Amino acid sequence: MTGFSRAETETTNGKCSGEARSLNSRYLEVSLKLPKSAAAYEQRLRELAKKQVKRGRLDVTVKWERSGESLALPTLNEEAIRWYLDVARHLKETYGVKGDLTLDNILNAKDIIVYEENSMPEGALYGCFDTLLAKLNEERDREGELIKHDLFARLEKLQAALSEIEHRWPSVVKRHEETLREKVQKALQTSSIDESRILQEIAIYMERVDIAEEISRLKGHLGHFRQTLDGADEMGRKLDFIIQEMVREANTIGSKSSDMFISERVIQIKVEIEKMREQVQNVE
């Protein structure tokens, strides 16, 4: 599910701020952007994120701003200065190199001025991160309720179409039987075909086009889907599997039946299932 959150945590040393964004994805992907001083905590933060978010792409950015009172000032690396002076003296005495080491030379040398890293307090980091994920999940929960409402509405459409198929099917069976009986009677009048053999073939054909079992299984999948939606556990992958079974039964009903009315209802069912499949990709 998608979501976005911002958070700030004030401390005596500074301010921790961050943003979290989640996008739809079939699997969990976590991307963290942290201050250098917080790099040691990255793995632990990833573990915390995986406990809060089970599915989707999660991008979290955390920044740290040190307060003016505690702002670290640059310092001189006197040991490095002495090293540069010793090297200059050695070059003059040993190789007769001419020239003077000036203030500009020294200040522009590497590692002469050292900046203390504005380290980020561990408590501020975890507090900001927890707040970000909590707010993000509030947004995701709101979207989840909308998705749930949409899925229940589509379930009602599926149930209605399936009920029409179930109501229509007996008359389709009866028409099949009547058509076959007429053909059998004509065959018996014009040939010496064994009647029992013909009746056996009729039974085989009727079994091949019978969709009662598929209707029953699809009804069961609809009930299972509804029950899973009403649950409180993680359901995204489970709903994925149920939809796969629903598609299988709908395809079988469509392939078995040659009745136009039933075929139209099967198309409606498959359209709704496909829309549900797209929505389920957003569900944890």
3-state SS string for 151-214: HHHHHHHHHHHHHHHHHHHHHHHHHHHHHHHHHHHHHHHHCCCCHHHHHHHHHHHHHHHCCHHH
**Is the per-residue pLDDT at 32 higher than 80?**
yes
Q: Tell me, what's the pLDDT at 71?
A: 54
Between CA 198 and CA 152 the distance in angstroms is 47
**Is the per-residue pLDDT at 173 higher than 80?**
no
Q: Please tell me which residue, 242 or 1, carries the higher pLDDT value.
A: 242
Closest to 165 in 3D by CA, of 272, 92, 245, 250: 250
**Is the per-residue pLDDT at 220 higher than 90?**
yes
Percent of the chain with pLDDT over 70: 88
Q: Please tell me which residue, 237 or 193, carries the higher pLDDT value.
A: 237
**Is the per-residue pLDDT at 38 higher than 60?**
yes
**Cβ 279 vs Cβ 143: under 8 Å:** no
Q: Tell me, what's the pLDDT at 231?
A: 81
**Is the per-residue pLDDT at 201 higher than 70?**
no
Q: Which helix (H) or strand (E) holds 59?
A: strand 56-66
Domains, the chain, in order of start with CATH, read: 3-70+120-139 (3.30.230), 75-114 (no CATH)
3-state DSSP assignment of residue 88: helix
Confidence of residue 272 (pLDDT cuts 50, 70, 90): very high
3-state DSSP assignment of residue 64: strand
Q: Tell me, what's the pLDDT at 193?
A: 59
**Is the per-residue pLDDT at 153 higher than 80?**
yes
Q: Tell me, what's the pLDDT at 247?
A: 94
Q: Please tell me which residue, 77 or 219, carries the higher pLDDT value.
A: 219
Mean pLDDT of the region 147-166: 93
Mean pLDDT of the region 97-118: 78
